[in-house]
Homo-oligomer: A and B are copies of this chain.
Amino acid sequence: MTTMDKITYQPVRDELAYTFGGRLPVAHLRSGDVLEVDTEDCFGGRVRTAADLPSRVCRMPYLNPVSGPFFVEDAEPGDTLAIHLASIVPARDWGVSSTFPHFGALTSTAHTATLQPPLEERVWVYGIDRQAGTVRFQATETHHGINLPLDPMIGTIGVAPGGFEARSTIVPDVHGGNLDTPRLRAGTTLYLGVNVHGALFAVGDGHARQGEGEACGVGVEIATTTILAVEVIKGVSTVWPRLETDVTVMSIGCARPLEDAYRIAHHNMVGWVGSLTGMGLLDAYQLVSQVGRAPIGNVCDPNYTVLAAVDKALLPAPEPAYHGAHTRLRQHTAGLR
């Protein structure tokens, strides 16, 4: 990581992508580069007022656009791509959320299909005050309102999948994608296994904040300007996405039913703890069982997301993960936050 270029990318509308895979790159990066990228919100910016019902103003499959994909030189199948989120800034002074017919955790859906009519579709517009660090919820039927902490995150980030697949940006899976976890905030490094030459990562779907599970199916959706740095970790493979912060390592599982997402994340974490510490499999299983947290990401997307999180301070003498990539990228981007 001797060189560092800062690349800036602002997509025009026709450049937005709706799949991971099946697309040509919009720009080339090298390991160590910093990217400042503008991202649209999940509605493509079309939902701006309470009158803009998503099912009217949006058209399938033009939902959840991502910026990219970006070709990372020297990234090959079998490598890992580390992406450090240095900064996620809301691009506007508002965000929106909504209900959406037959989408969300507390409604029947196209998969959990029932004969009941859908819940009413409705839009909530949130005011964002970047200075104060707040997002304002305003009820639609009554005068209730409250300022919530601003906690920007990236909902969708991933690489091209393997096996010649192209997957909708709505889907989270082994390649990343619509992970929808509030843990993807600034200060976090994401590790993704590389499936195709150049990795072809893309990013979008910012949220000003989101509850665990994204119960109604929609966060406080925002366009963002996001600064990130990438590093290719050669010869180290990663199966399921992983996260690292200064304090915590996390594994991500995406599946239905939700317990399989839990199993994937924790199976992965047990192996990770074993390799970071040198402990045996059952000892690692035991320790994770007593110190692990299991934050839920989403319970609304085509695959649900659960994380396994372990604080590094609760592990006996762990080695740095991925040869210290998180620390390196964090220092690397220190001046950019």
Contact = CB atoms under 8 A, between A and B. Distances in A.
A191 interface: no
A194 to B, nearest CB: 15
Interface in A176-198: none
Contacts of A317: 144
Number of copies: 4
Contacts of A263: 105-106, 111-114, 299
Contacts of A264: 110-111, 113
A116 B116 contact: yes
A2 interface: no
Contacts of A139: 279-280, 283, 287, 316
Contacts of A111: 255, 260, 263-264
A168 B165 contact: yes
A211 B316 contact: no
B165 A290 contact: no
A247 interface: no
**Could you say which of A116, A270, A278, A280 has the most chain B C-beta atoms within 10 Å of its C-beta?**
A116
A282 B114 contact: no
A141 interface: yes
Given A116-B119, A256-B256, A164 B282 contact: no
A9 B171 CA distance: 35
Q: Which of A268, A285, A293, A314 has the most CB of B within 10 A?
A: A285
A107 B114 contact: yes
A322 interface: no
Describe A's contact surface by its main secondary structure. loop
A106 B267 contact: yes
A90 interface: no
Interface stretch (A213-221, A230-238, A329-337): A213-221
Contacts of A256: 255-257, 259-260
A294 B259 contact: no
Interface string A93-133: 00001010000111110111111111110101000000000
Contacts of A116: 107-108, 114, 116-119
12 contacts: A22-B166, A106-B263, A113-B260, A115-B119, A122-B282, A139-B287, A164-B166, A209-B290, A215-B266, A215-B270, A219-B289, A255-B256
Interface of A: 18-19, 21-22, 60-61, 97, 99, 104-108, 110-120, 122, 124, 135, 137, 139-142, 144-146, 148, 162-168, 209-220, 253, 255-260, 262-264, 266-268, 270, 277-283, 285-296, 299, 304, 306, 314-317
Given A146-B316, A215-B270, 8 more contacts: A18-B164, A111-B263, A112-B260, A139-B283, A141-B280, A220-B290, A256-B256, A296-B296
